[in-house]
Amino acid sequence: MQPLGQSVGQAAIRYQRPPARQAQLATVGVPPQDQIEAIESPLRDHVGCVHESDGGSFVLGPGDVRCLVAAEVGVVHACEPYAAPCCIQELGAVRESDPPLFPKPALELFDPRLAGRRGRDRGAQVLQVTLVGRHEQVVGPEHVELPQLRSKRPERLEHDRNASILVDHVPGQEDEVDRAPEADAQGLDPALEMSRPPGHVRVGEVEDRQRGAPGADLDAPLDQPQPVWLQQGVGAETRPHGEGGARKLHRFEHTGIVRLSLRYKIVGGFVLLLSLIGLLGWVTYSLFGSLREVQTRVFDDAVPGLVVAAEVVRSYTAQSAAIRGYLINSRREQLEQYREEVTQVAVTESRARALFDSPRERTLLAELIEAGKDFHREVDKRVLPIAKKGDRALAFNRLGREGDSAVADIERLGQQLRRTQDRVMARNQRGLQDRSAQALAILLLVTIGAVLIGLLLAIVVSRRLVQGLHQLVDAARAVGRGDFDQTIDIRTGDEVEELATRFTEMQAGLKRLQQLALHDQELEIAASIQRNLLQKSVPHTPEVHLAPMQRQANLVGGDWFDVDSSDGRLAIVVGDASGKGIGAALMATVALSALRAERGLGGDGRRIVSRANRALVDATDPESYATVIYLDLELSTGEATWLNMGHPPPFILRASGTRDGPRGHYLEGPRNRVLGWFDDPGLEQGSVKVLPGDRLVLYTDGWLEAKSVDGESFGEHRFAEALTRLGILGGEALVEELVREVERFAAGKLDDDLTMLVVEFLGAPVGRAGAELTGEEQWHSRR
């Protein structure tokens, strides 16, 4: 952003210190002007532009000394500096910068109490601004680094109503700046702040009398100092001071819904979906783990148990067979086979101990092993020694009696063990089936749940998005039809709401543009009507030369002149309706029409003006009036009579002035009151004898009220002096030169209409009085 002082001419002028401030600087003895400038010049870049559309906007700035603000309607709603009153100065439109810095009317906030302060004192002042309205945007630098002051502002403010913001601080004082002590230090009572009426700003105090804006408490005692409230904004609401008021510096508060960007919403949706998929994966993994556990139990425990049980039984059967063979055949190989089986069954039994872990299995296994040991004892201690002694038949009988019963026990126990393993196997298979069914069910449920949640999310999010967009589409269509009033209510707290906010602003802007266009159109029509009513040319007569001039400040104006020549008389009206713009133009039109109509009915000037006044009093509002000069000039004699109805007096430029004295003077005749307000405005006439060569100057107050840049009016004295000085010129040249002179005085800025009619009396032709005209009179007139 360009430095304001360089880019905006009008604003730069406003930045010059007011006299009061300079006086203050002088009394407190602060450093020289250039040092103060060095500190304050960065502040001038610190400009807040606020755009709004529906009910007031706000202003904030560095909070230290001053800030400039662009605003449109309802401007500063409530501006409370921390402890001092704040002056609000209207700048009007500032358009000089390129590109336009303030395309709209701007305000300047200026706190006179802070003007002379430095350092900590100044920084401790906090400008608190209450925002009202839904559509605000701050455009400006986020930070401004100053030698002793750092200010910060948000790039964008929230759209909530009643948001508050505190700006400005001195580093180190962020946290504990208390309002009340500061207010006390300023001599202000915080309690008074609490009593501030809504929509008012305190602008000062009075000591002896109570003051207040409309609605203030007028019953309070008169002898106490009372705050003065200045009403700000129109029709907007204000949060009462102290209601959740911001106290911390650099803290931003808003009271609306939580803001969540659309981006985060979408990302959040994806994260949720991914979480669901992750959950699904985890459940699946857990179920497969459980199934594998069951499988492990089947294949690692039950099946080997069966095998081992069978192997033990088989081994003992084989041992029994090998011993029998040995006893019958006496072959040593069969004895060795028995020994080998005994070794192997020991290994198998030890494996079986590791496999069987239930008490029942262990008991059966122990019994089986014990039966095996009995068998081995019988064989090794009885059967084989008997066989070695040679009594093989006795050994065989012994084996058949004792050994077979042991082997039968072993087979029985082995059978029981296998049954237990069969049961374990069957149980595990059932478990496996159950687990599989459960896994499928859980998987199905989780999948359905995830799909439902996903669908729900998709429906809700898309519906919210689409709802908002539908509203926007409808509103856009309405705009296309020329309807700018369609309300958009989107509170999603995301970019769609942002879009809606901007769209609403655009609606308001378009509506305003339409209204302006309509207004311009109406203004054009009004101007056309007025142009047709106003006299386009003046009548030419041999006796007078008329030099008219009319310049309107706007498209329509409140000034007019009207000249009528009949019956050897010239009736001249120069009028000025009160106000400006269309209101004044209407009043002027009504007054002009009334005077013309009454003149048409005949009668002298008094009767005409009196009847026209009556008509205007009845027809116009009490604030409207018109000032008029009604002048009758008898062409044959130069006798002029006039009625001054609240108008600036006519001026007469005599052709033959004295050598030293002025050649012109105001015609200070009797003065009457304005038309359109008084029942009896007075009808006293003035009269003057106009000599050939004399000029009557009729004009409106725009000439006298032209203002210089210093605010000084052009005034009657300058006007009379200029007329007299320029009197040497002819009528038209005189008027042109006078316009130039007034323009120079006002530096080209004339706010009011300018109207002038110079009536130069040339003199009656010879033989004019009472004679028929011959057509040669003009050659005999006296110039």
Binding site for other proteins (CB under 8 A): 71-75, 90, 92-93, 105, 203, 206, 209-216, 218, 222, 228, 230-232, 234, 558, 576-581, 584, 621-625, 627, 646-648, 671-674, 677-678, 681-682, 701, 705, 707, 711, 713, 752
Q: Are 301 and 424 in contact (CB under 8 A)?
A: yes
Alpha helices in 482-551 (DSSP H): 495-533
Tell me the CA distances in angstroms from 722 to 546, 553, 594, 649, 726, one per residue in order: 19, 22, 34, 16, 6
For the CB of residue 204, give the shortest distance to other proteins in the complex, in Å.
9
For residue 227, cis peptide bond before it (omega within 30 degrees of 0): no
Look up residue 453 and give its two tokens: 């949640």
Put residue 56 in one of left, alpha, beta given phi > 0 → left and psi -120 to 50 → alpha. Answer: left
User: Are the C-beta atoms of 644 and 686 separated by less than 8 Å?
Assistant: yes
Report the SS3 class of residue 281.
helix
Pairing of strands 685-689, 664-666: unpaired
Residues sharing a CB contact under 8 Å with residue 405, sequence separation 6 or more, in sequence order: none
Q: For residues 15 and 677, which CB has a smaller minimum distance to other proteins in the complex? A: 677
To which residue do tokens 């000029």 refer? Answer: 695
353 or 671: CB nearest other proteins: 671
Nearer CB in complex with other proteins: 121/712: 712
Minimum distance of other proteins from residue 620's CB (angstroms): 10
State in angstroms the smallest separation of the CB of 156 from other proteins.
23
Tokens of 107: 């305000």
Query: Quick one: which of 172, 442, 74, 143 has its CA closest to 283?
Result: 442
- The DSSP 8-state label assigned to residue 196 in this structure reads P
Among 553, 569, 572, 617, residue whose Cα is nearest residue 590: 617
- Select 316 or 630, whichever has its Cβ closest to other proteins: 630
* Shortest distance in whole angstroms from residue 569 CB to other proteins: 26
Report DSSP letters for 93-129, one per residue.
EE--SSS-SEEEEEEEEE-GGGTT--HHHHHT--EEE
The span from the CA of 633 to the CA of 598, in Å, is: 18
CA distances 128 to 174, 374, 653, Å, are 14, 106, 62
Taking the complex as a whole, how short is the minimal distance between the CB of residue 69 and other proteins, in angstroms?
12
Minimum distance between the CB of residue 133 and other proteins, rounded to whole angstroms? 14
Beta carbons within 8 Å of 642's beta carbon, 6+ residues apart: 605, 629, 630, 631, 632, 650, 667, 669, 685, 686, 687, 688
In a 10 Å sphere around its CB, with 0-12 CB exposed, 13-18 middle and 19+ buried, how is residue 518 labelled? Answer: exposed
Cβ atoms within 10 Å, residue 186: 15
Amino acid at 207: E
Q: How far is the CB of 143 from other proteins (least distance, A)?
A: 30
Question: Least distance to other proteins from the beta carbon of 68, Å?
Answer: 15
Contact 91, 68 (CB under 8 A): yes
Supply the minimum distance, in Å, between the C-beta of residue 504 and other proteins. Answer: 19
Q: In the bound complex, what is the minimum distance in angstroms from residue 650's beta carbon to other proteins?
A: 13
- Nearer Cβ to other proteins (368/645): 645
Name the DSSP class of 197: P
From 764, 606, 595, select the one nearest 690 (Cα to Cα): 764
3-state SS assignment for residue 359: helix
Question: In whole angstroms, how close is the CB of 518 to other proteins at the nearest point?
Answer: 16
Report the distance separating Cα 492 and Cα 510, nearest Å.
25
Residue 54 beta carbon to other proteins: minimum distance, rounded to whole angstroms? 14
φ and ψ at residue 412, rounded to 5 degrees? -60, -45
Contact 739, 752 (CB under 8 A): no
Which residue's CB is nearer to other proteins, number 302 or number 582? Answer: 582
Strands 200-206 and 164-167: unpaired
Which CB, 201 or 413, lies closer to other proteins?
A: 201
Of 563 and 631, CB closest to other proteins:
631
Count Cβ atoms within 10 A of the Cβ of residue 387 and give its class: 0-12 exposed, 13-18 middle, 19 or more buried. buried
Minimum CB–partner distance for residue 104 and other proteins (Å): 8
β 559-566/569-577 pair status:
antiparallel
Q: Which is nearer to other proteins, 651 or 761 (CB)?
A: 651
SS3 462: helix
Q: Is 5 exposed, middle or buried (0-12, 13-18, 19+ CB in 10 A)?
A: middle
CB of 651 to other proteins, least distance (A): 14
Identify which of 399, 396, 691, 736 has the alpha carbon closest to the alpha carbon of residue 548: 736
Smallest distance, Å, CB 770 to other proteins? 39
Query: What DSSP element (H or E) covers 202?
Result: strand 200-206
Nearer to other proteins, 209 or 481 (CB): 209
CB of residue 758 to other proteins, shortest distance in Å = 21
Helix ranges (H only) for 231-331 are: 262-297, 303-329
Q: Give dist(CA 360, CA 362) in Å, integer.
A: 5
User: Taking the complex as a whole, how short is the minimal distance between the CB of residue 279 and other proteins, in angstroms?
Assistant: 59
* Centroid of chain to Cα 750: 37
Name which of 517 and 729 has its Cβ closer to other proteins: 517
Closest CB 673 distance from other proteins, rounded Å? 3
Hey, what amino acid is at 649?
P
